[in-house]
Amino acid sequence: MHSGVPADAVRALARDLAAAEHAVVYGRVGACVGGYSTLVNYLLDVVNALTGNLDRPGGAIFPSPPIDTFGMLRKQGLDTYGAQRTRVGGYPDVLGQMPAGVLAEEITTAGPGQLRALFVTAGNPVLTVPNSEGLARALDQLDLMVSLDIYINETNCKADYILPTTTFLEREDANIFVQQYQYRPFVQWTDAVVAPRGDVRTEWTIIRDLSAKLGLVPSSTPFIRRLGPLGRKINPNVLFDLLLRSGNAGDLFGLRRNGLSRRRLLAEPRGRVLRDHSPTGVLPKVAKRMGGKINVGATRVLDELDRLVDDARSNADGRFPLRMFGRRELKSLNSWMHNSRRLNPRTKAPALLMHPDDAQRYGVQDSSEVVIETRTAALTVPLTVTDAVMEGSVCLPHGYGHDGSGGWQRANATRGANSNRLSLSGPGALEPLAAMSILNGIRVRVSAVARSSPPAS
């Protein structure tokens, strides 16, 4: 009973799911950042499929956005998996994206393909990537680092150049990517509210101008790249308008009377709800590569079950008996909202949460300072004893640890401990199938802070 849930309760829950008229098993970030994240997400889909709750009303459904981003990736051959492998660790790409969990090693490991220059857009990987201290040291070894941002933070304080960008109030904006996750299709396009301050420019303008100097076309889309210099004129507003007008809710360039376009949406700044809910019965369209069927026996994923069993059996080492997981605070997403007084009203760092039975077992007290350790690192953090976490686990929110090197006065005052110092990067440290960083389920131990003895009188 490694999960702490009795087997009979699991069986009863499975029967209830199968018998329910409408049901869905759902997971998000917490299911994506553990050591078996691909397996967990796969099994979520399998349970929905086997209980008849996939692609049906009241179950797990597929969105029907006005711009089908995933469909476009598929049509252009960009929905890749394993088309490329990382130089360090041999991890696969997912949709053309390479894992940040080997970024430090790609910088520091010599040889063909060594990463020597880095552009960071609106990011703070020194706080949000595993082995944060290792990455911070690696950034110092780059030949060139450029940051596009509105803040100076722990990462871009190491940049050679920080290029200031517009805020969302200083540019046109559209909710493109979140459309893939809306059960009620909604689209919004807003005009700039205020004029840009000083010399700030949009990210697109900066990337376009730099690309022109380098003779490149700033796009991952093969069609636009083939246009050469003409492709630089297709900015995000033009591209979004073309995709919107040719989509399932578009005006088809005047052929559909009440269809959408950029011009029409700018006249409706509150946006438009396109329908009450997404349609069902679309599985054959979504699962094109498998003939409209769901493969519930994927060998590479099911092999993870053997690794899971072996891992559970090997948990006899009492040196690190606890499992640490993170948490997102509702008003503080990752690290980038900590500088807002309204979103981050606290004046001191958040605490480590621990169950009362564990606190008694390991001799630590509520509101005291404790040391939380892994095999490679240690942090000193305040402790809160609470039954809000399960026995055998501890919880530390991620995204904190602002060290004063940036310009975030509010965030720097809060400070806190960076939980990613306890996580690992590099070969063998990531989830093997999707190369996801392992940020939950980290094996740790917790002890009281050692107090030095007073000097003898």
Q: Which CATH class is domain 69-235?
A: alpha beta
Give every CB contact of residue 76 below 8 A, 6+ residues apart in sequence.
221, 222, 223
3-class secondary-structure state, position 442: strand
Q: Tens of pLDDT along 367-402?
A: 999 999 998 899 999 999 999 999 999 999 888 888
Higher pLDDT, 3 or 139: 139
Architecture of the domain delimited by 318-448: Beta Barrel (2.40)
3-class secondary-structure state, position 287: coil
Q: CA 215 to CA 170: how far, in whole Å?
A: 28
The mean pLDDT value of the chain amounts to 88
pLDDT value at residue 456: 52
Q: Tens of pLDDT along 12-67?
A: 999 999 999 999 999 888 889 999 999 999 999 999 999 999 999 999 998 888 98
pLDDT value at residue 457: 45
Q: CA 410 to CA 396: how far, in whole Å?
A: 20
pLDDT at 350 over 70: yes
Diameter over CA atoms, the chain: 93
- Through-space distance between the first and last CA atoms of the chain, rounded to whole angstroms: 54
Q: Tens of pLDDT along 86-108?
A: 999 999 999 889 999 999 999 99
The closest of 93, 114, 283, 266 to 193, measured between CA atoms, is 266
Strands (E), 41-112: 81-85, 92-94
**DSSP conformation class of 215:** T
Q: Write out the two tokens for 21.
A: 């008229």
Higher pLDDT, 218 or 247: 247
The single residue listed with the structure tokens 């040889």 is 111
Higher pLDDT, 119 or 29: 119
3-class secondary-structure state, position 403: coil
Q: CA 367 to CA 449: how far, in whole Å?
A: 12
Q: Where are the domains of the chain?
A: 7-61, 69-235, 318-448
Q: Tens of pLDDT along 141-167?
A: 999 999 999 988 899 999 999 999 999
Give every CB contact of residue 268 below 8 A, 6+ residues apart in sequence.
none
pLDDT value at residue 452: 57
